[in-house]
Chain A
Amino acid sequence: MKKKYWDLASGIVLFLFSIVLYIGAMNVRTLEVSTFGSGFFPKIVAVMLALASLALIVGGIKTAKAADGAEEAKGNPRWKAVLATFTIMVAYAALLPFVGFMITTAVYLFLQINILSENRHRKPFLFAVVSIVTSVAIYYLFVKAFNLMLPAGFLG
């Protein structure tokens, strides 16, 4: 989607979200019989969000019209790198309780450093050493010196 429609689109999404929120707030269980139960604040905020997103939609239509044709193509965001980063972060959190902190962290670090660095700067051996040393160091530092619990996984 073109950048000039971003405000308009996010305004519409937020407006729909405010409706969902309002409906959700109507169904919040509450103890009191008075008008000011646990659903009261969410309802007010939902109404305010609806108003604010309408303002965003109006502003978004204006900017979309104003920016007609003049679409700037500045830099190529590296979507692949963002997606890859996000994927390994999710995998990291998912595997953490099963594989344990040390191994998941070392693997995550190695992959992440490779994603963030450019091809010509890649030094796999150095990266591997940095990853393993950092992961082991963090684990022992926190578990032994600072009495923190970290998932040990099947090694523990």
Chain B
Amino acid sequence: MLDLFAAGFASVLTLGSLFMIVLGVFVGIIFGSIPGLTTTMAVALCLPLTFGMPPAIAMSLLMGLYIGGTSGGLISAILINIPGTPASVATCWDGHPMASRGEAGKALGAGVVFSFLGTLLSIVALVFIAPPLAELALLFGPVEYFALALFALTMIGTLAGKQLTKGIIVGLLGLILAFVGMAPIDAYPRFTFGIHDLDGGFDILPALIGLFAVSEILNVAESEFSLKKENVLTNFKMKGFGFSLKEFWGQMYNMIRSALIGIGIGILPGIGAGTSNIVAYSVAKSQDKHPEKYGTGCLDGIVASETSNNASIGGAMVPLLTLGVPGDTVTAMILGGLMIHGLTPGPLLFIANGEVVYGIFASLIIANIVMLVMEFFGIRVFAKLLSVPKHLLLPVIFSLCVVGAYGLNNRVFDVWVVMLFGVIGYVLTKLKFPTSPMILGIILGPMAETGFRRGMQMNEGSFLMFFTRPIAVFFFLATAFMIVLTAVGNAKNRKKEGTKA
């Protein structure tokens, strides 16, 4: 493993790669910190830059964006009380009260340091979990992949939260959109309406760009939000990291617990930093002897939120690299990025392209250090950038979306796909449907269907084989467990609301 690591570092320690990491972290922090722009969007927009690059350099850029974007949200969360991305929702709760008390420097310092530590711990976890898991995944046949996809689809229940029915519907719509194009196994086109551009189905990237970037522009056009001048606190002092060594050691236990929560939630398919920061915050609060201090500006809340959201990065990379199942929306984009370079994530990636995998590990480590340095010294610059007017920013972002979609296959058709998904995303948000379950449907649908039909072919149409393979049985049981858990949780929620009303 050590020699692979050395090779990985060697591939990243070139001028080109290092420059891309720095650029990625910088752009990532900007997208992370400006509310309305997300990490997913940053990756989507920068993907066309990577089309002409060697894979190692392309991946360094994407890893920089991922880490910068996930951490950057803390800046606006603390300074203007609006989370820059969903990953920093819980950072607002204690970060802003602290900043309004005049301790913005301390809040930012803690956020930055614990983002760094969270990422670091999760990279360690990634490096130790991914290779053995990839080896195990080599044993996976179609039946196992079908079972895995089924299990991953149950995460829709977690993603949808209280709107279970709507989440399921959106997930199903994702499955339906993935049907379009050539069917697996027999390769007859279905649901293409005779349009030959649709024979290959919808590409993942234009679909994601539409869902997460274009729909946002339509949303802003509708609201007055873009026109308000944000109230940015800029008169803060940064002295060191703002907190004492004693305070740091006091957070040790909280940090490790939050990192573990972040890594675990990251590994689960489809859910990532957007969920983990809230979970880690509420766990920290419920386990504390003084839960009443949360929300008034206590360090513990910031530590829980910022450690866990960044810890989801390493977690989310685990299923992406070993199984080809993205751990969250950003890794779904990265999945598309890998495929453009002819790299199919999955256990074989570790054998055929080991240097790329270890290059990714190395980029993550370097990007993490760059993030720490850049946010520490450049926090004022990023704070200033928060007031860039949105009416200038969003149109430029849309034209970059168009560039990305067109550049994918050199056809205008993909630009239309972006707009179609933009409208779908907009209408869904308008009708109060969550949009993220759709990605799970689009990516996992073909995996489930191919696995099922191949398995059936291999076993000559007998269902029995599905229950004789231990790994598949494990995933089926896990699926059943998740369904029961979601159903019980949903029933409890209803009861609670019933007693309230």
Contacts and interface: CB of A to CB of B under 8 A. Distances in A.
Interface string A123-134: 000000010001
Contact of A113 (B179, B227, B395, B431): B395
Given A29-B190, A36-B452, A147-B51, A82 B218 contact: yes
B217 interface: yes
A59 B423 contact: no
B353 interface: no
A116 B461 contact: no
Given A36-B456, A96-B412, A117-B391, A56 B165 contact: yes
Interface string B154-170: 00000000000110110
Given A78-B222, A116-B394, A151-B412, A29 B188 contact: yes
A109 interface: yes
Given A28-B188, A42-B190, A75 B399 contact: no
B407 interface: yes
A64 interface: no
B222 A149 contact: no
B3 interface: no
Contacts of A84: 221
A32 B184 CA distance: 12
Contacts of B51: 146-148
A24 B190 CA distance: 9
A52 B48 contact: no
Interface string B394-418: 1110111011001100101001100
A14 B49 CA distance: 38
B194 interface: no
A32 B186 contact: yes
A10 B170 CA distance: 12
Interface residue SS majority, chain B: helix
A72 to B, nearest CB: 14
Given A56-B166, A148-B403, A148-B407, A90 B391 contact: no
Given A41-B452, A85-B217, A93-B419, A138 B179 contact: no
A30 B169 contact: no
Contacts of A89: 214, 398, 419, 422
B222 A79 contact: yes
Contacts of B407: 142, 148-150
A116 B226 contact: yes
Contacts of A40: 453
B5 interface: no
A118 B227 contact: yes
Contact of B423 (A75, A86, A93): A86
A45 B176 contact: yes
A16 interface: no
Given A56-B166, A78-B224, A112-B394, 12 more contacts: A10-B433, A36-B453, A38-B188, A45-B175, A78-B221, A78-B222, A81-B221, A82-B222, A85-B217, A112-B398, A142-B49, A151-B412
22 contacts: A7-B432, A24-B191, A28-B191, A29-B190, A35-B461, A37-B186, A39-B190, A40-B453, A42-B191, A49-B176, A52-B172, A79-B222, A108-B395, A109-B396, A112-B395, A113-B392, A121-B389, A134-B399, A146-B53, A147-B52, A149-B410, A150-B406
